[in-house]
Structure 1
Amino acid sequence: MKTFADLIQEVQEPGLCHQCGGCVAFCTAINYGALELGADGRPRFSNIEKCIECGICYSICPVIHELDEDTKKLVFWSAPMGRIMGNAVARATSPKVRAQATDGGVVTALLLHLFDRGRIEAAIVSKTTGPFQRQPWLALSREDIVAAAGFHFDTLPSIKHLSDAYTTYSPSIVGLSDVAKKPLKRVAFVGTPCQINTLRRMEVLGVVPSDAIRFHFGLFCAGNFQFGPEQRQRLEQLGNFTWAEVNKVNLKEELLIHLNNQEIRAIPLNQLDFMKRHACQFCGDYAGEFADLSFGGIGAPEGWTTVIIRSPLGRAVLADARGVDIELYNYREDPALMPQAMAKVLEWSEKKKRSAAEYHQQLEKKAV
């Protein structure tokens, strides 16, 4: 049986670790306490003597293929980008939510809807704690959910107040350890494709605390980006702005830098490889293929969200919130919008799969 020591050798050393936090979340939730996240975001032994070598951390890693087929069967996955039962372009009905959230605020609106209806007791999200810094957050109230919405750059008077390295990524799955410590049985999870994948693998094995996760909301993901001093300086040059001018940042088909004067600087994502986390180059899931609902701004008009329905549960959630907390785009005004949005998502999904396959081939050649 392979263990965390094998993960270090097979996943971390080649630079394939997505830092999703699944291995640490499970080990902490089950109260073994053998693993922790290091300062660099990578999992490591906190106390090797506590490791019972159960092998579950190895099996649930999204990079390991041991449970691939079982996980696909669980969610009725099919090519080319997972199960698709429908799609929509939508936004939150609440102006406050739309102002706070990214794109159309649909994820936040659905979480609030589920919370108000008593369908969930909490939501695992990520919360902005500083410029380009996010941390896992167990939202236990409406206020918590709204506070975690959006991705804003806090305007600061000087760059010297910022840390040396930022990331757009948050290991939200680590929030599962908080779920295990509380009597929570109805929780929604919002995360990246690799995090949703890990949760589904836990579900396949029937291990805690995946049993508490009732709703899986996946975010479109072109990759996670690092914002260290060198990257920040290069971005300023590419976009012709200074960080003191920045109000909000969004990732769609481009990196969108929203300035305080309402101007937007758009930087193509293919110019941002110098910022992308190395492991993301090997991931082929752009559209959250293992979620109940997947979300992103790509393909949607400004202020709206593209939504992919992937399960009967996701379809029911969206239908119940429609006309209450969610409004759909008026397709009569643009009948081609929905198919165009899906075509755009598929285009980016195929692009990411091709790129990941090429990087894997390069890695295999190096290994030979």
Structure 2
Amino acid sequence: MKTFSDLIEEVQKPGLCQRCGGCVAFCTAINYGALELDEEGKPRLKSAENCVGGGLCYSICPETHELDEEVKKLVNWNAPMGRVLDAFVARAINPAVQERATDGGGVTALLLHLFDKGLIDGAIVTKETGLFQRSPWLASTREEIMESAGFHFDASHGLTLFSELYSTYSPTVVKVGYMGAKRLDRVAFVGSPCQVNTIRRIQALGMEPSNAITIVFGLFCTGNFMFGPDERSRLEKIGRFQWKEVDKINVKEDLMIHLHNNEVRHISLDQIDFMKRHACRYCSDYSAEYADLSFGGLGAPEGWTTVITRSPLGRTVLTDALGGSIENYSHKRNPLLATDVLAKAMEWSDKKKQSAKINRHERKILD
């Protein structure tokens, strides 16, 4: 039986750890308390005495691939991009949600819809805490869900900390371990593909606290980026802007820097490859294939969200919200848009899979 020490040797040391926090969250949820995250977001042993050596932390790590078949069976996964029931292009109806949102506010609008109808009593999301910095957050009120919307900048809390390393990644899975403390038993989860993967592994094992996760929202992801002092300086030169001018950022086909004067600077993803987290180079999931609903701006008009329904639950939630909390892009305006965005998502999904395959092969050669 493999344990946490094997996880360190096989995943963390080779640079494959996605820092999703799943191993720590699980250990916290069942009150072992043997693991914690270090300052860089990597798992480490907190208390050897509390570690029972059961190996579950190893099993739920996406990089060990121990539960791949169980997870695929759980979500009825199929090639080439996971289960796909429908594709929509939607946005929030509420102007306040639209204003805060990055891509039309579809995720926030659906979370609020579920909360207002009493179908969830909380959501694991991320909250903006500074420049290029978001932290995992267990939102348990309507106001807290609203605060999690979008990715905007407040120059007053970030520019003074330029020596710090910022990242677009936030380990939301770690908050799973704290649901019991807030006495929440119907929680929506929002996360990147690797985080969704971890949640499904915990569910496949049927272990606490997976029964409290009622629906899983996944986000399209080309990779997450690190913004250290050198990276920020280089990006300023590439995009010809200064951080004090930035209002918000977004990633679609490229990196979009929205400035206070309403200008938008577009930077190709190839140009910012030097900022991508090392482990992201080996990830093959672009569209959160194990989610109930997947969201992203790819292919959608500005201010709209591409939504892929993957499960009957996801389809029901979206259908129920249409016309009330969210609106669908008019079929008359572009009858082929839903088909086009799905094709675009499949294209980017295949591109990420092929890139990960090449990178893993090259790593094996170097090893």
Give the TM-score band, short-chain normalised.
over 0.9
Mapped partners of 2:133, 2:355: distance in 1: 27
Maintained 8 Å contact 1:29/1:181: no
**Other-structure match for 2:2:** 2
Q: Which deviates further from its counterpart, 160-169 or 6-15?
A: 160-169
**Other-structure match for 1:11:** 11
Q: Which runs of 5+ in 2 are unaligned?
A: none
Maintained 8 Å contact 2:130/2:157: no
Question: Which residue identity does 1:251 align to in structure 2?
Answer: V
Question: Which residue identity does 1:328 align to in structure 2?
Answer: N
**Other-structure match for 1:195:** 195
Match of 2:167, SS state, is coil
Match of 2:166, SS state, is coil
Q: Measure how far apart 1:164 and its partner are.
A: 1.7
Root mean square deviation, CA, Å: 1.1
Matches within 5 A, 1:216-295: 216-295=216-295
Mapped partners of 2:152, 2:347: distance in 1: 27
Mapped partners of 2:326, 2:175: distance in 1: 27
**Other-structure match for 1:168:** 168
Question: Which residue identity does 2:258 align to in structure 1?
Answer: H
Q: Measure how far apart 1:270 and its partner are.
A: 1.3
**Other-structure match for 2:100:** 100
The answer as to 2:57 corresponding to 1:57 is yes
The answer as to 2:152 corresponding to 1:152 is yes
Question: Which residue identity does 1:320 align to in structure 2?
Answer: D
Closer, same or farther: CA 158–32 of 1 in aligned 2, 3 Å: closer
**Other-structure match for 2:44:** 44
Closer, same or farther: CA 188–237 of 1 in aligned 2, 3 Å: same
**Other-structure match for 1:213:** 213
- Per the normalisation by structure 1, the TM-score is 0.98
Question: Which residue identity does 2:112 align to in structure 1?
Answer: L
Question: Which residue identity does 2:206 align to in structure 1?
Answer: G
Stretches of 4+ moved more than 4 A in 1? none
Mapped partners of 1:130, 1:160: distance in 2: 10
Maintained 8 Å contact 2:131/2:159: no
Q: Which runs of 5+ in 1 are unaligned?
A: none
Maintained 8 Å contact 1:158/1:244: no
Mapped partners of 1:158, 1:181: distance in 2: 31
Q: Measure how far apart 1:156 and its partner are.
A: 3.8
Number of residues paired by the alignment? Answer: 367
- Per the normalisation by structure 2, the TM-score is 0.98
Question: Which residue identity does 2:85 align to in structure 1?
Answer: M
Closer, same or farther: CA 33–353 of 1 in aligned 2, 3 Å: same
Mapped partners of 1:240, 1:70: distance in 2: 48
Maintained 8 Å contact 2:297/2:306: yes
Mapped partners of 2:242, 2:40: distance in 1: 27
Aligned-residue identity in percent: 60
Question: Which residue identity does 2:51 align to in structure 1?
Answer: C
Mapped partners of 2:159, 2:290: distance in 1: 39
Q: Measure how far apart 1:160 and its partner are.
A: 3.4
Q: Which deviates further from its counterpart, 147-156 or 256-265?
A: 147-156
Match of 1:287, SS state, is coil
The answer as to 2:172 corresponding to 1:135 is no
Maintained 8 Å contact 1:157/1:244: no
Q: Deviations over 1:193-220 (max 9, x none)?
A: 0011011011110111111000000000
Maintained 8 Å contact 2:193/2:285: yes
Q: Measure how far apart 1:343 and its partner are.
A: 1.2
**Other-structure match for 2:366:** 366
Q: Measure how far apart 1:364 and its partner are.
A: 1.1
Mapped partners of 2:287, 2:198: distance in 1: 15
Mapped partners of 2:41, 2:202: distance in 1: 21
